[in-house]
């Protein structure tokens, strides 16, 4: 008999423990196609992918010692999209299904609870879903790409593995880190998110980043940190300035060549201490680029993985009931995940689809929900000629977005702004 | 259309720049063309009622009552102490299980139901023990507490401003109620008046007046907000 449940991977252990009645750690990937979505064909495509993505069609269940993912008996039903992205996923919903497949006009969106997979895994699912949808709808054959898997191919064990265990070492890195400045604002009255999307020409962004001698991720992070420094300077006295840090999730598949479709990212905090002096954008770009270069090596990352994997092997921790583990994990998350950075900048990178799909797919976007106690989050994806920068927030004020996008305009990068609330 | 303040280009469906809230002016034809919204209006259905837990607890309560009844009739051929156990289960059920059945349970209704059940429980004890304290002490006491709770809920839930005045008023009300309680205690048990209620009234009055003052004096209010925010 096939195994119909999965242990949570190392990164996923945290997410059920820290979710609460109003917040669940989820992310969304959406694609805009050149015609109105046919929900029946989409449902057929979703059904066809069940065998290929068994770890995606799951519900979150609670055991005595650990949570686990129980495979669904059927497949998720496609639904019309909601009034705003990433509406709350309740325990009840997650128990049945951790994935939402949504459509609205010519947009297909996939919303995933983070315990199932990360952005890259989710993107492979969305692109494969689109490929299958187009195959059924237009009876065409679609070739291979790093982001599209054929629904007929068998699932490999490597795709379902918890790669953290394979690429760890015996030297756990310390979790100790200085606290970061936190943005504050007036909470939205209900629990909706305001999403501002900046659309930029990728070539222009690449050119400017190159002029500053860094990658697009480092450049955008530097611009964001500059905006955050200005915000802090306006609100706090100079001697009370805190570090300004941003979390960048690092896709470890590129580093180790893993093929897993489950979580395999590690958050990395980068930033500067504004008390040390003024930073120009060039200084920030240099600093962020060198921090990323220094940290992102297989050895350093293996040590960081070890700090998450080693505690799991502790027998006493293993036999501790889940309810107590959740308390400990919640405290660790608050200390080392929430307080040590202002927000996340998650860059999915350039998405390339097989040539047959390009005429049908117009844009692909990546959206992450704000973290539990932070109020903004930023995600980036590039497809065809454009880069989409999504900043999601749960407060009224849009100061960060205004500063960030205005800076890009000042640097001669034209930005087109879209918003989910007109 | 570009935002004159931020310099960003705005998508056609926006009437206000989402970054700086500057208004964007379109002519009528453009407005017609731009009406398509990026997201639909529908919202996910939130179901806060926890019916599975409620049904499990209901079954457990019924099981407990059945066991108590069987035990009592087997041992004594009458209910005896079983009545106390059954009423305790009923109070537990009304306080904790009943709200689980509903999506939104009105706290005022909940308070009234809870106090009614508690009053019935006390009446039962009174009858069983041949005490003459229910009508002159337990019932008025319960009604006073119920009125205090309901008033507090109304003030907190339906009056959005003046938190300090509300808190001060509620505390003074609790102080005054204590005097009333002592009066009923005096009527029922022939104790002396104003033994303990004086202390409660003076403490509540001082604290309540302090909070009302804090509501009036802005710097004090700001200081308290800063030190004791939740």
Q: At what angle do helices A216-235 and A281-295 cross, to 10 degrees?
A: 120
Whether the complex's predicted ipTM is more than 0.85 is answered with no
CA A4: distance to chain centroid?
26
Cβ(A213)–Cβ(A222) below 8 Å: no
A256: distance to nearest CA of chain B, Å?
Answer: 39
A81 neighbourhood in chain B, CB within 8 Å: 39-40, 42
CA B160: distance to chain centroid?
15
Q: Quick one: chain A helix, strand, coil %, rounded to 5?
A: 35, 25, 40
Domain spans in chain A, listed from the N-terminal domain onward: 5-164, 194-419
Q: Is the pLDDT of residue B229 over 80?
A: no
- A5-164: CATH topology is Chloramphenicol Acetyltransferase (3.30.559)
- Three-class SS state of A246: strand
Question: How far apart are the C-alpha atoms of A384 and A386, rounded to whole Å?
Answer: 6
Domain spans in chain B, listed from the N-terminal domain onward: 1-39, 135-225
Q: How many CB pairs under 8 A join A and B?
A: 83
B16 neighbourhood in chain A, CB within 8 Å: 422
CA A277: distance to chain centroid?
32
B54: distance to nearest CA of chain A, Å?
Answer: 15
Asked if A419 lies within 8 A of B42 by C-beta distance, the reply is: no
pLDDT tens-digit series, residues A104-144:
999 999 999 999 999 999 999 999 999 999 999 999 988 88
Predicted pLDDT at B162: 79
Predicted pLDDT at B48: 60
- A194-419: CATH topology is Chloramphenicol Acetyltransferase (3.30.559)
Neighbouring CB atoms inside 10 A of A107's CB total 19
Q: Spell out which chain B residues touch chain A, with contact meaning CB-CB distance below 8 angstroms.
A: 3, 6-11, 13-21, 37-44, 46-47
pTM confidence score: 0.72
Q: Identify the weakest region by mean pLDDT among A330-339, A363-372, B200-209.
A: A330-339
A415 neighbourhood in chain B, CB within 8 Å: 8-9
pLDDT tens-digit series, residues A395-405:
888 999 999 99
Token pair in block for residue A133: 């949808």
Token pair in block for residue B138: 């337990």
Neighbouring CB atoms inside 10 A of B230's CB total 2
Between strands A376-383 and A343-351, the pairing is parallel
- Partnered with residue A422 across adjacent β-strands are none
Asked if B18 lies within 8 A of A398 by C-beta distance, the reply is: yes
Selected residue with higher pLDDT from B99 and A131: A131
Selected residue with higher pLDDT from A184 and A47: A47
Q: Is the pLDDT of residue A157 over 60?
A: yes
Token pair in block for residue A11: 């990164």
Please state the three-class secondary structure of chain B as a single string. Answer: CECCCCCCEECCCCCECCCCCCECCCCHHHHHHCCCCCCCCCCCCCCCCCHHHHHHHHHHHHHHHHHHHHHHHHHCCCCCCHHHHHHHHHHHHHHHHHHHHCCCCCHHHHHHHHHHHHHHHHHHHHHHHCCCCHHHHHHHHHHHHHHHHHHHHHHHHHCCCCHHHHHHHHHHHHHHHHHHHHHHHHHHHCCCCCCCHHHHHHHHHHHHHHHHHHHHCHHHHHHHHHHHCC
| CA–CA distances in Å: residue A387 to residues A32, A41, A97, A381 | 14, 29, 31, 6
């Amino acid at each position: 008999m096939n195994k119909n449940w999965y242990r949570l991977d190392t990164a996923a252990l945290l997410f059920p423990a820290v979710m609460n009645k109003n917040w669940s750690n989820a992310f969304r990937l959406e694609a805009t196609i050149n015609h109105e979505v046919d929900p029946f064909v989409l449902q057929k495509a979703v059904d066809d992918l069940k065998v290929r993505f068994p770890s995606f069609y799951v519900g979150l269940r609670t055991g005595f010692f650990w949570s686990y993912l129980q495979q669904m008996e059927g497949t998720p039903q496609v639904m019309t999209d909601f009034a705003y992205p990433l509406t709350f996923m309740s325990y009840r919903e997650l128990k049945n299904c951790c994935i939402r497949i949504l459509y609205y006009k010519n947009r297909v969106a996939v919303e995933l609870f983070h315990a199932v997979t990360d952005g890259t895994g989710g993107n492979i699912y969305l692109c494969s879903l689109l490929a299958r949808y187009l195959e059924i709808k237009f009876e065409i054959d679609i070739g291979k790409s790093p982001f599209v898997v054929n629904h007929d191919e068998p699932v490999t064990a490597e795709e379902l593995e918890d790669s953290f265990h394979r690429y760890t070492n015996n030297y756990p890195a310390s979790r100790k880190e200085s606290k970061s400045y936190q943005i504050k604002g007036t909470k939205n009255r209900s629990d909706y998110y305001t999403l501002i999307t900046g659309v930029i020409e990728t070539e222009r962004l690449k050119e400017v980043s190159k002029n500053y001698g860094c990658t697009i991720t480092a450049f955008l992070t530097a611009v964001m940190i500059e905006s955050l420094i200005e915000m802090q300077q306006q609100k706090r006295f100079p001697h009370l300035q805190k570090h300004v840090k941003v979390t960048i999730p690092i896709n470890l598949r590129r580093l180790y060549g893993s093929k897993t479709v489950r979580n395999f990212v590690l958050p990395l905090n980068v930033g500067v201490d504004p008390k040390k002096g003024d930073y120009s954008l060039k200084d920030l770009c240099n600093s962020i680029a060198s921090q990323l270069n220094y940290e992102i090596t297989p050895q350093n990352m293996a040590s960081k993985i070890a700090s998450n994997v080693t505690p799991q092997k502790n027998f006493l921790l293993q036999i501790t009931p889940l309810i107590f583990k959740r308390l400990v994990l919640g405290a660790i998350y608050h200390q080392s995940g929430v307080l040590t950075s202002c927000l996340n900048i998650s860059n999915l990178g350039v998405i390339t689809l097989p040539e047959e799909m390009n005429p049908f797919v117009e844009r692909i976007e990546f959206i992450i929900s704000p973290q539990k106690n932070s109020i903004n989050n930023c995600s980036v994806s590039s497809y065809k000629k454009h880069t989409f920068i999504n900043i999601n927030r749960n407060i009224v004020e849009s100061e960060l977005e205004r500063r960030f996008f205005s800076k890009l305009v000042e640097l001669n990068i034209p930005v087109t702004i879209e918003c989910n609330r007109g | 259309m570009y935002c004159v303040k931020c310099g960003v280009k705005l998508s056609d469906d926006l009437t206000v720049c989402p970054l700086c809230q500057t208004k964007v002016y379109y002519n009528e034809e453009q407005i017609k063309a731009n009406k398509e919204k990026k997201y639909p209006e529908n919202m996910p259905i939130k179901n806060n009622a926890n019916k599975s837990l409620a049904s499990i607890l209901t079954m457990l309560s019924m099981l407990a009552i059945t066991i108590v009844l069987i035990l009592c009739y087997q041992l004594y051929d009458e209910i005896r102490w079983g009545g106390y156990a059954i009423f305790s289960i009923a109070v537990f059920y009304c306080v904790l299980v009943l709200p689980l059945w509903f999506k939104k349970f009105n706290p005022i209704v909940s308070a009234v139901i809870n106090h009614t059940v508690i009053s019935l429980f006390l009446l039962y004890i009174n009858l069983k023990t041949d005490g003459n304290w229910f009508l002159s002490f337990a019932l008025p006491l319960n009604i006073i507490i119920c009125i205090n709770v309901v008033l507090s809920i109304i003030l907190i839930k339906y009056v959005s401003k003046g938190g300090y005045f509300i808190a001060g008023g509620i505390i003074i009300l609790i102080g005054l109620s204590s005097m009333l309680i002592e009066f009923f205690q005096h009527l029922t048990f022939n104790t002396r008046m104003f033994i303990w209620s004086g202390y409660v009234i003076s403490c509540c009055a001082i604290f309540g007046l302090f909070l009302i003052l804090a509501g009036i004096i802005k710097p004090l209010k700001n200081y308290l907000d800063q030190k004791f925010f939740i």
